[in-house]
Amino acid sequence: MVMYKDLILIRHAQSVWNAVLDVGKDNPDFKGEEEKPVEKKKESKSLFGKIVDKGISVGKKVGQAASHSEAFLRKNDHALSAYGVEQCFQLRDQFEKARQTKESGMPSPEVEWIDSVDFWMVSPFLRALETSALSLVPLVENNPHAKMKVFPLAREIYKRRESRDCVGKDQNWGPRMLARAISSVSKSYEARNFEPDHLWKSIDMFRKYDIELCKQRWWSENLESDIEIRNRIDTCMAKIFSLPASQASRPVGIVGHSLLFRRILQLYWPREASKASYLADALRCNFEIPMDRIRAVQFQPQAISPSRYCPDSLEVLKLQNCCVLRIRLKYKLLLVNGVKKIDGSSIEIEDGQFLFNTGWEQHGYDKGTTTPEMSSASGRSDFMNYTSSTTGANSNPYPNNGRAAPAPPPPPPPKQNSDPFAGIPDLL
């Protein structure tokens, strides 16, 4: 039996850690020392002189970033930045306006998706708890059936030692975890002099959080392997698919992280060329990236995605903060010895779309083009190419990323743990 499940993925707003990493971008939370305007001299500098000047300018930015981030490099689990809090309120306003269109009798397709979520999974990291409490108020307060569960499986992927933001703060579990989040949210309101009514609504959100799975340490200090990440995501999906019948037909919302959501897309990317091409077009990730950028991220497609058509671009693209992405998963439900069992190998993304004018973080890999156009040919080397909007010719200097056409992938590696889709009890 073929089944479908819609997920609403919301990435957390900008954290203090994100703000540090965004130095050099248009970031209101970090403003380096303003350089005084210097009169341009009439004499032209040599190429070497220009390079030296450029190096000094870049060096200043790097020095500012290092001094600003030094304290944060030693800390785990950061709060939202001031700009991140503002992002939450902007998203909250969008949710509120969308609900008003529904009440007026002219609902938008977006509100039909987001307003039908009865079950929300929230990552235990502080930035995700804050994002959910600040943003989801219009959706949860008017839904008596809404349930919020703080879910360790929705935490961020921990792949690099320096990514301390992917490690929990010592002793931060159970009631202490919520108390820390409430304190941080209260400070955010206090800094902006918002109405007390709004503050109480956000604080009241935490009363709805089920922290049963976070009564003890919910993170690991060890780096996660690709197999461990896949097992964790498979287990998360198994629990979603085993929700009670009353919620089986409704979308499930996840407030989480960019690397986690990227890996979900990669793991369940369609295995047929035509479906993969359609999804890459729908999610605006159908373009090539330079070969040196792939080497920089140590791209290993077969280690992270069973699909030979999974776009290379997903290795560098990140969902923007407060992005809202809907994906529809297709899977098979088997009857084995009279017991229903989910066929984990059948899970595949059937459809997807960005909601509320959100999308990927800005990037320069498709610079100079407008909306990329899909090629009619099949296979990664063809459908990942894009057409220039000015010349109409294939302007991609890296056809198929300089590689031969991919061979069929080997069978997925055996899982270290038992099948996560067997014998999963109801989540609630």
pLDDT the model gives residue 290: 64
Close Cβ partners of 226 (under 8 Å, ≥ 6 residues apart): 300, 303, 304
pLDDT the model gives residue 369: 34
Beta pairing partners, 121:
149, 254
Could you tell me which residue, 419 or 79, shows the higher pLDDT? 79
Close Cβ partners of 78 (under 8 Å, ≥ 6 residues apart): 15, 16, 17, 72, 126, 127, 165
Distance CA 183, CA 150 (A): 17
* DSSP single-letter state for residue 387: B
pLDDT band at 54 (very low <50, low <70, confident <90, very high): very low
pLDDT the model gives residue 46: 53
Q: Mean pLDDT for the chain?
A: 76
Reference 3, options 350, 381, 426, 369; nearest CA is 350
Residue whose tokens read 């970090």: 30
329-369 confidence digits (pLDDT tens):
999 988 888 888 888 889 999 999 999 999 998 765 544 33
H-type helices in 104-225, by residue range?
109-114, 126-135, 137-140, 175-192, 196-205
pLDDT band at 315 (very low <50, low <70, confident <90, very high): confident
77-136 confidence digits (pLDDT tens):
989 999 999 999 999 999 999 888 887 777 778 888 888 899 999 999 999 999 999 999
User: Is 3 strand, coil or helix?
Assistant: strand
Distance CA 167, CA 223 (A): 10
181-188: average pLDDT: 91
Fold (topology level) of 2-17+74-402:
Rossmann fold (3.40.50)
Beta pairing partners, 122:
150, 255
pLDDT the model gives residue 212: 94
Distance CA 363, CA 380 (A): 21
Beta pairing partners, 254:
9, 121
pLDDT band at 405 (very low <50, low <70, confident <90, very high): very low
pLDDT the model gives residue 41: 47
* DSSP single-letter state for residue 215: S
